[in-house]
Chains A and B, each alone.
Chain A
Amino acid sequence: MDTIKNELQMNSFDRVLDKLCLTPIGLAGLILLLILPFIPPFNQEYILRWLIYCGFIAAMSVGFDFTAGYINIVNFGYMAVAGTGGYTSALLVINAGLSPWIAMVAGGVSSAILGLVIGMISLRLRGIFAACLSWFFGLAVMGLAVKMVWLTRGPLGLRVPRLFETESNFPFYFLIIILVYLTYLICKWVVRSKMGLAFQAIGQNMDAARTSGIDPVFYRVFNFTMSCAIAGVLGGFYAHFYGILTPDMMHTSKTVEVLAVAYIGGRGSLWGGAVVAFPFIFLMEIVRSTLSNLPGLNLVIYALVLILVMIYYPGGFSYFYDTHIRQPKNRALRYFLNGRDV
């Protein structure tokens, strides 16, 4: 009854927002991101390039959190899966002459198949064992990319045609913002449905979930397949944006980057990683480029932030937001932060 009442109380704007899984502040943030490249310091090409990288990490961290935050399995080979999608897409464009847009989807499909395989073989494993299995899988895939020189040109890297035939980074920026939002939206829709509940049940206690009639096989494999498909499409974007693809992209340290952002953002929130990625990765890029005589300093800061967050605030940014910012006294402000609920 309550939910029906709430539906009736909502006006159409709120209803649309709710369908789009946004709060008013979320909408404001999205609009800010969309007009950002027209505001002076951000309209330079090299800053836009950093922002695109931020967007890529943001979208990856959403897809990563879909597995890590819900069914509680860290997919430690996530970047290798994305790299598979990137390579598939790039090779299809180069060798079969497909349009990059269709190839990106094909990359997503190939990564989904990889995710299906990882999901299937890790079914009997839990926790850290499943994480290690996906890690070994990632190492094996990266080793293949390095050694199959006849196909991937190995460490020399593939030259990949770009998605848009311009030198400008503007269209890429808007595309990645749309991809970030779409990734979030799809994951959120799935998580909001009955499936999300099943995911959380499996993540918290698999035996209890099985006792209450949830089939872990289907949900775990589905979750892996979906998050890997997302990674594959994003990997295709990465390949067709940078125009060069090396096996370095699949390295564990890249997965660590995504993982750090996802956890600093807050596990199990989906939006936390996406929100944190923009300021955080952007600052890291500034540190990296301004203090280039101190190589590695940005990663030192990076690691320190990860360590401090893990020790003192394991809930991450989303937990902080929920406990300290979300419930202000002012009603208008509360509407702005939460949207119309209950």
Chain B
Amino acid sequence: MSKNYMSHILPWLKTAPGMSIAISIVVAVAATIDAGPYLLVNMVVTGGMLALVATGLTLMLGVLNIPMFAHGEYFMIGSLIAYYIFTPISEFILEHPESWLVTFGPFIAIIGALVGGAIAGAISEKLVFGPLRRRSTDNWVMNSFLLTVGLSVLLINLHQLIFGADFKGIVGYWQGMPISIADVYVSKDRVMAFIISAVIVALFYLFMTYTRTGMAIRAVSQDITGAEIVGIDIEKIVLLTIALACALAGVAGGSLLFMYPSYPTVGLEPLYMAWFVVILSGLGNILGAVTGAFIVALLKVITMEYVGAGWDFVVPSALIMFILIFKPSGIFGSDVRGVLDK
């Protein structure tokens, strides 16, 4: 039995996904033994956040062929909404420390960020992507990419114009002592952020795999004409996909407000990291994006630990470029790419 099992494992280890996952696990374990378990905890928390942003990005790319450059701005919108919801709540908590809001107030803010991200996504579909799609789909990938570049500049500067450029942050969502995991003290906020992202990614995966709507989204991503023939309302699916993708970014921004205070360009770092993930892991593959998120998080954490803060763009991007030379379609990507080549 075990021999049979091994005969499956060994060929898998020789493929690109197997090799990269195995190497990252070995590196993670080695670094944890060398530097201490806090490294692993950091990696898990960063990876959870990245997974949220990167699944949204990979959804946009895989289903709609939009290389989203403005995804970080929905992260920013989420954190902004969470800030404006949570500030009055925290004032209320200060006056009434026994209220039920102490536990559930943060959830209201995070759900607000989720809904706000979804609404912002839907509005941008109605105002920006919809008109472009109706006018022409020639050279769609490049045109929509430039459109999202414009959208990103627009949202960043609208934030600056309306809300100002100062940091709008909070001290923390949940008060109380940090939780101790394997001799590492982790603040409650970090634990909750990870739990929230894990739950949402799991729900999202189940939604995409088992519900009719999720299947419809996947059908559209494979063949838009075929999906139309079997009676799927394309416009509705597109709207839903964009809203979902932006909601994922928004909830990431909302639940990480304690780490990333809201300011105009807060979204750039998650955006760069999410693009690292998507290009590294290949396109349109949710599980691949989640795995890739943890690999990139590991790269980032290890770089910060052994090379120094501030190098966390240089080393991961150099490594990803190196991987791309040998595997141009990403670790988990198939070799068929089609429309995105153009």
- Give me the interface of A with B, judged by CB distance under 8 Å: 72, 74, 121, 124-129, 131-133, 135-137, 139-140, 142-144, 146-147, 252-253, 256, 259-260, 263, 294-297, 299-300, 302-304, 306-307, 310-312, 314
CB distance from A141 to the nearest CB of B (A): 9
- Is there a chain A Cβ closer than 8 Å to B204's Cβ? no
Cα of A135 to Cα of B340 in the assembled complex, Å = 17
The one of B128, B139, B340 that contacts A307, using a Cβ cutoff of 8 Å: B128
Q: Determine if A307 and B150 form an interchain contact, defined as CB atoms under 8 angstroms apart.
A: yes
In terms of DSSP, what is the predominant structure of the interface of chain A?
A: helix
Cα of A303 to Cα of B156 in the assembled complex, Å = 10
In terms of DSSP, what is the predominant structure of the interface of chain B?
A: helix
CB distance from A64 to the nearest CB of B (A): 12
> Using an 8 Å CB-CB cutoff, how does the interface string of B296-339 with A read, 1 for contact, 0 for none?
00000000000010110110011011001100100000000000
Q: Determine if B341 and A126 form an interchain contact, defined as CB atoms under 8 angstroms apart.
A: yes
26 A-B pairs in the complex with CB atoms less than 8 angstroms apart: A121-B324, A121-B325, A125-B324, A127-B141, A127-B341, A131-B67, A132-B279, A133-B324, A135-B275, A139-B317, A140-B317, A143-B314, A259-B149, A263-B146, A295-B161, A296-B157, A296-B158, A296-B264, A297-B157, A299-B153, A302-B153, A303-B157, A306-B150, A310-B147, A311-B131, A312-B131
Residue on A nearest B312 in the bound complex, by CB? A143
Q: Determine if A312 and B153 form an interchain contact, defined as CB atoms under 8 angstroms apart.
A: no
Residues of B within 8 A of A263 (CB): 146
Q: Determine if A125 and B317 form an interchain contact, defined as CB atoms under 8 angstroms apart.
A: no
Residues of B within 8 A of A253 (CB): 153
- Is there a chain A Cβ closer than 8 Å to B342's Cβ? yes
Cα of A127 to Cα of B139 in the assembled complex, Å = 10
Q: Determine if A127 and B150 form an interchain contact, defined as CB atoms under 8 angstroms apart.
A: no
CB distance from B248 to the nearest CB of A (A): 20
* Interface size of B in residues (CB-CB distance below 8 Å): 46
The one of B157, B158, B276 that contacts A136, using a Cβ cutoff of 8 Å: B276
Residues of A within 8 A of B321 (CB): 121, 133, 136-137, 140
Q: Determine if A147 and B132 form an interchain contact, defined as CB atoms under 8 angstroms apart.
A: no
The one of A142, A252, A300 that contacts B154, using a Cβ cutoff of 8 Å: A300
Q: Do A296 and B160 contact each other (CB < 8 Å), given the known contacts A124-B325, A311-B147?
A: yes
Q: Which of B106-136 contact A (CB under 8 A)?
A: 128, 131-132, 135-136
Residues of B within 8 A of A129 (CB): 279, 324, 328, 340-341
